[in-house]
Structure 1
Amino acid sequence: MTDEPGSAEHALYLAVVRAGGRLRPEELAPADRPTVAALVARGLLTPTATGYTVANPRALGDRLGAELRLRATRLLVHAERLPGTLQPLSRAYEALHRPPGAEPGGSGSVDAARLDGVGASTAAVRQCLSELLAGCKQEFLAARPGHHATEALRTTLAQDLALLRRGCSMRTLHQPGALDDPATLRQVALRSGEGAEVRVLAEPYERVLVFDRSVAVIPAAEDRSRAAVVTDPTTLAYLVAQFERDWARATPADRNLGAPHPTTVRIGRLLARGLTQRAVATRLGLSERTVAAHIARLRDRYGARTLFHLGWHLRGERHG
Structure 2
Amino acid sequence: MWDFGQISSRAGRLREVDVAVYTWVLRHRSLSADAAAAELGTSRQEVAESVQRLLDAHLVYRSPVDPAVGFARAPEAALARLSAPSEARIRQSQYQVALYEEELSSFRPSYEEHRPPDARAFEVIDTLEDVRATLNRASEDCRTEMISSQPGGGHRVPEAMQEAITRDRRLLERGVSIRTLYHHTARFHAPSQAYVAAASALGGQYRTAHALFGRLIVFDRASAFIPLQDESWGAVVIREPDTVGYLCDVFEQTWDSATPFVDAASEGLEQVSRQVNETILRLLATGLKDETVARRLGMSLRTVRRHIAEIMDELNATSRFQAGVTAALNGVVGASAPPEVEQRAP
TM-score, structure 2 normalization: 0.39
